[in-house]
Amino acid sequence: MYPNEVEYLYSFVQVITACTASFAHGANDVGNAVGVWAGMYAAWSTGRTAATKEDVPLWQIAVIALTICIGFITYGYNIMKVMGNKITYHSPSRGSSMEMGASVTILIFSQYKLPVSTSMCITGATVGVGLCNGHLRAVNWQRVGLLFFSWVMTIPIAALIAGCLMGLAVNTPKF
């Protein structure tokens, strides 16, 4: 899209937007992950069945942050392969726009205490940047459709798995 010299300069901008995306991802996903655990721990440690609003211990946040990093290292490449150039063409100028668009969206939702899928945000930003090429063929709609299908299916699949696990936990003493 731009000359190589300009794209090279955008590489620096993309480092900054990647840091912003990491901050936004942590603001959203660490809270999603630690919330349930912190509630269960507070109920267990205080002996109350319905834990009141408690401060989350720093060690719990650190454990979840470390666990998310391990997840990035071990399985993050799978999502990176799907997102990289399989939806639309990427370049540093496009990548910085994608990351900043997704980051701002995630931070707005996090500010209003609304959980949001970071993958959904970056996919939407990627499609938006791809459409800026001026034609619909710049976006791999088959891949976007597959991602949309996977998002829709995560709710019933997670519900089924969690329900089965809870059923086992509740009925284990009876087996």
CA distance 173 to 175: 6
C-alpha distances (whole Å) from 46 to each of 61, 64, 74 are: 19, 21, 35
Check residue 126 and give its pLDDT.
93
Q: What is the pTM of this model?
A: 0.80
Residues 6+ apart with CB under 8 A from 88: 94, 126, 127, 129, 130, 133, 138, 139, 140
What is the number of other CB atoms lying within 10 angstroms of the CB of residue 3? 8
- Asked if 114 and 155 touch (Cβ cutoff 8 Å), the reply is no
Q: Where are the domains of the chain?
A: 4-138, 140-175
Question: Of 4 and 153, which is predicted with more confidence?
Answer: 153
The pLDDT > 70 percentage for the chain reads 95
In this prediction, residue 51 carries a pLDDT of 58
10: Cβ–Cβ under 8 A, 6 or more apart, which residues? 2, 91, 92, 93, 95, 96
pLDDT at 155 over 90: yes
pLDDT tens for residues 36-79? 888 888 888 877 766 567 778 889 888 888 888 898 889 887 77
Find all residues with CB under 8 Å of 78, minimum gap 6, and list them. Answer: none
Cα 93–97–101 angle (5° rounding)? 175
Other CB atoms within a 10 A radius of the CB of residue 44 amount to: 10
Residues 73-131: tens digit of each pLDDT: 898 877 777 777 788 888 999 999 999 999 999 999 999 988 888 888 999 999 999 99
Tell me what pLDDT residue 50 has. Answer: 63
Give yes or no for a contact between 60 and 38, defined as CB atoms under 8 angstroms apart.
yes
